[in-house]
Chains A and B, each alone.
Chain A
Amino acid sequence: MVLVWLLAIPLVGSILALASGDRGAKFVAVGLSLVEIVAFIVLLAHGPVTLNAPWIPDWGVRFHLGADGLSMFLIGLTTVMTTMALFASSPAYPKSYFFWILFLEFGMVGVFESLDLMLFYVFWEVILIPIFFLLTGYTGSHGRATAMKWLIMNLVGSLFMLIGIIAVAVLHAQPFGTLTFEINQLTHVPMSAAVAPWIFASFFLAFAIKAPLWPFHGWMPDSYSEAPAPVTALLSGVMSKAGIYGFLRIMLPIFMPQMRHYQTGLLILAAIGLVYGAFMALRQKDMKMAAAYASLSHMGMMALGVFSLTEAGILGATFLMVAHGLIIGGLFVVLGFTEERTKTRDIAAMGGLNDDAPRLAVYFLFFALAALGLPGLPGFTGEYLIIQGLVAHDMVFAVIAGVVLVVAAWYMIRLFQGVMQSVRQGPKIFDLSAAQVGYIGTLALLVVLLGVWPAGITSHAAPTLYHAVHLLATKGGAAS
């Protein structure tokens, strides 16, 4: 039942935000998002849970929700980051903004909870709409074009995935006679060599665009830089995880033989994204763009973990999803603070901000260090596990990942130095207010907690992933 509450609270909250006045909308939205966190804590205390009810019986579509070791912490990430984004949003935004943010939370919680492909697809497309309007209505001069680009690229992926979903279900139905869209029942669909690559590609494209992985990241730079900082935090922190989550939740169980078959190609793709993102981050002049390309690079790292198809790699990717969500989300919020104060994003036009705003500089440094994978912070744990998995599979990719970690340190330190250190130019700025320290500090504490106690997640996630890795041995193992 708590699963339904987790969906209902943001949905009701979004409608309440729309019904309240323009002044009260932020208050209502923040309140409801805190209630949502309470609901998540109830879920955490309760442990793994599922809910399975008929939805459209004539088609075998079921309202099948679940939270297990893989999805539970992503739900938590969604609730925490939505609250952060709402705190960081200016109360001057019209109420429709808060409506869309909570509606986005509804969609993302739904994506992470769904265990039925059709239900998954419904939520998968539902998240397109709030982001489209968040990009189109409240941003700078290029908002409309950016939103169009975002929607078109994502829809290309998801519409073909719809064909893929129905094709899998139809293929499953033809020998056995009944339609079903449940992921755990579709794991042994017989696919002929003629159709399997196409169906595989339809799913892969959707997830790769959403993540985004190179070369499907065309929408990313514009969207991340055009969106208001809180929205960027949600996009990079939570929404992008849906892509990697799709690989873990859907592609590993259903397409393991194809994953095995294309493994080298997939690894190369992910590795190119990793390197490309890192070097693009290094040469950005705009601080938000630098963080955006850093995020692209990290997505490549997670994809490497998944595509290594080893237990350690997949576990590392799962952990890094949550850790990276908190870190990059926090980084974008801090960048938002900075931009709000300096009115610019050009690194060259800033510098020396730590004189005026030491607290801002501390949090900036903290999230930058976390993002570059400093040991003791959670990014390191995830990257360590992924590299361990890569070593077990293929040394070459492990070396590439290790080298990129060095580049990551370079681009993050460069960003920090450029913005915070050196000589101050321009007028004096204000430091963080007590309220801002309150919520960004809480987020930093969460990151520290995850860094010193990664087992809090990995011990829960490992049994769930055991299933996927078990499939690896039985299904794909023979093929390799």
Chain B
Amino acid sequence: MSATSMMMPEYLILATLLIAMLGIMVSRAHSTLPSWLGLLGSLGALWATVDIWTHHLKPEVLFNQSVSIDTYSLFVNVLVLIAAGSTILLGWQAERHHDEFPVLVLLSALGMMLLGMSANLVTLFLGIEILSLPLYILAASHRNSLGGEAGLKYLLLGAFSSGILLFGLALIYGASGSMNFTDFASAVSSHSPILGAGLVLALVGLLFKLAIVPFHMWVPDVYEGSPDSVTSFMAFGTKVGAAVILLRFLAYGFYLSPDSWGPILGYLALLTMIVGNLVALTQNDLKRLFGYSGIGHAGFLLVGVAVHSVVGARAMLFYLLPYGLAVIGAFAIITMISNGDNNVTIDDLRSLAYKKPWAAALFIVFMLSFAGIPLTGGFIGKFYLLQAALFAHQPGLAVGLVVGTFLGLGAYLRPLQAMFRRDGQDQALAGWNVNWAQIVVLVVAVVGTIGIGVYPTPVVHWVNQSANFFWLH
């Protein structure tokens, strides 16, 4: 296979980006043309990914070992494209006045896809930056005063963490003499202190992107201040990008010394699961709630990395899908309720079950999936992570997972109970706008969430194939 056809999804996204920019120049302002182009580009890239998966399933390392196209990167492509497509759909109405919205989303998605296939330090850093820069702009694009704060906060902290990451990568390069993850082995086995320092700094940079406690401070404010659709993209896409590169970076480069990073990540995962879900309990703003609970979910993901086993890798990869589907579904409901300027709070959901029963029913499904209740995808994901923790003889992580789940459930139940309160029945909803784009997202999310919960077999099978790289260092 040639490089062109293996990279087809990425090239398609790149081409879509350029065409959409031209489209913005020629079409009148606020038209839906760029959004349509972005959506078609995402679907085309998704189709190309599936085509490579089904017909040319042979891993290839391209461009002087800087990218590795394998089942892992293809699975990441699917996740990222679902995130990007749903973000464009969710922003169909609300973000119309930003013509560049779909372009920036696709550019960020391209960075995430690059992270999925990255096999050396250059593409790692490029991926992180391509992911982040469009998000800085998107975060600041909200009309209200919080938007500017969110964008600036994200930019400053993000740039700071990128600097730390870059410094770490430079030290790793200095110690190992190579950019490729797979060439670190000799330096790792000689216990180079410079390499150790580099690893620590690089981990800090990556954990910042994944929003692991104590590097999570930026999340709630940025989520709160960003437009709803952008927040859903950050909650889903950014986590995918950061988690998959963390896994490949450690599994390819540092598989010889799991004892030097596994326990630290394990403790951080414990801390993150507890703190994230605990603080989520006290939130009233739904976006802040999802921000903190997203931190908790990042802790769950980190369990899969910390156990350093093939089951862990599979479990982490699996967990991203039901989590992401629940995120886009929940945010679809939020964009329906939101009146544009103010954020949706738990109070706004009062009596929703009597006013809009179907929206309430779907919201229940997504909340239960977040909480990990059976017959939703979230439960299967938690089940897989628990398997990973127990196979690795880490009962502490298993208990942490369960306690985190438990705290998280409390946080998700508060909006649900508000929906069943009867005292808000006579108040009209602040804003209620539904368009076909949100319906599409909702259908995808609910079918996926319940489908994975009831019959997870195909997804489990794909994920098991995707994590096979774990054995092919």
Q: B417: which A residues are within 8 A, CB to CB?
A: 136, 144, 147-148
Question: Residue A58 contacts which of B373, B374, B379, B464 (CB distance < 8 angstroms)?
Answer: B464
Contact status B410-A129, CB under 8 Å: no
List residues of B (373-428) whose CB comes within 8 Å of A's CBs. 373-375, 379, 382-383, 386-387, 390-391, 395, 398-399, 402, 405-406, 409-410, 413, 417, 420-421
Question: Residue A166 contacts which of B368, B390, B461 (CB distance < 8 angstroms)?
Answer: B390
Question: Residue B406 contacts which of A58, A118, A156 (CB distance < 8 angstroms)?
Answer: A156
User: Cα distance A58–B461 when bound, in Å?
Assistant: 7
Contact status B457-A58, CB under 8 Å: yes
Q: Chain A 150-169, CB within 8 Å of chain B: the 1/0 string?
A: 01100110011011001100
Q: B406: which A residues are within 8 A, CB to CB?
A: 152, 155-156, 159
Say yes or no for A57: interface residue by CB 8 A criterion. Answer: yes
User: Cα distance A126–B460 when bound, in Å?
Assistant: 22
Q: B420: which A residues are within 8 A, CB to CB?
A: 133, 136-137, 144
**Taking chain B's interface residues, is the majority helix, strand, or loop, or is none over half, making it mixed?**
helix
Q: A147: which B residues are within 8 A, CB to CB?
A: 417
Contact status B410-A170, CB under 8 Å: no
Say yes or no for A122: interface residue by CB 8 A criterion. Answer: yes
Say yes or no for A128: interface residue by CB 8 A criterion. Answer: yes
**Taking chain A's interface residues, is the majority helix, strand, or loop, or is none over half, making it mixed?**
helix
- Closest residue of B by beta carbon distance from A195: B395
User: Cα distance A126–B376 when bound, in Å?
Assistant: 10
Say yes or no for A56: interface residue by CB 8 A criterion. Answer: yes
Contact status A159-B402, CB under 8 Å: yes
Q: A167: which B residues are within 8 A, CB to CB?
A: 390, 395, 398
Contact status B386-A166, CB under 8 Å: yes
User: Cα distance A159–B372 when bound, in Å?
Assistant: 10
User: Cα distance A137–B375 when bound, in Å?
Assistant: 22
- Closest residue of A by beta carbon distance from B398: A163
Q: B374: which A residues are within 8 A, CB to CB?
A: 121-123, 125-126
- If A96-B357, A129-B373 touch, whether A57 touches B402 (CB-CB below 8 Å) is no
Question: Residue B402 contacts which of A96, A136, A162, A179 (CB distance < 8 angstroms)?
Answer: A162
Q: B44: which A residues are within 8 A, CB to CB?
A: none
- Closest residue of A by beta carbon distance from B455: A55
Contact status A152-B410, CB under 8 Å: yes
Question: Residue B405 contacts which of A58, A126, A159 (CB distance < 8 angstroms)?
Answer: A159
Say yes or no for B456: interface residue by CB 8 A criterion. Answer: yes
User: Cα distance A17–B276 when bound, in Å?
Assistant: 39
User: Cα distance A133–B405 when bound, in Å?
Assistant: 20
User: Cα distance A151–B367 when bound, in Å?
Assistant: 15
Nearest Cβ on chain A to B48's Cβ, whole angstroms:
27
Contact status B373-A170, CB under 8 Å: no
Say yes or no for A93: interface residue by CB 8 A criterion. Answer: no
Say yes or no for A59: interface residue by CB 8 A criterion. Answer: yes
Closest 7 CB pairs of A and B: A122-B374, A159-B402, A125-B374, A170-B390, A137-B420, A58-B460, A163-B398
A-B contact pairs, 30 of them (CB 8 A): A55-B455, A56-B457, A58-B461, A58-B464, A59-B387, A96-B357, A122-B379, A125-B379, A126-B373, A128-B373, A129-B368, A136-B417, A144-B420, A151-B413, A152-B406, A155-B409, A159-B402, A162-B382, A162-B386, A163-B386, A163-B390, A163-B395, A163-B402, A166-B383, A166-B387, A166-B398, A167-B390, A170-B387, A170-B390, A198-B395
Not counting A126-B375, A170-B387, a sample of 7 additional A-B residue pairs whose C-beta atoms are within 8 angstroms of each other reads A55-B457, A59-B387, A59-B460, A118-B383, A122-B379, A125-B374, A144-B417
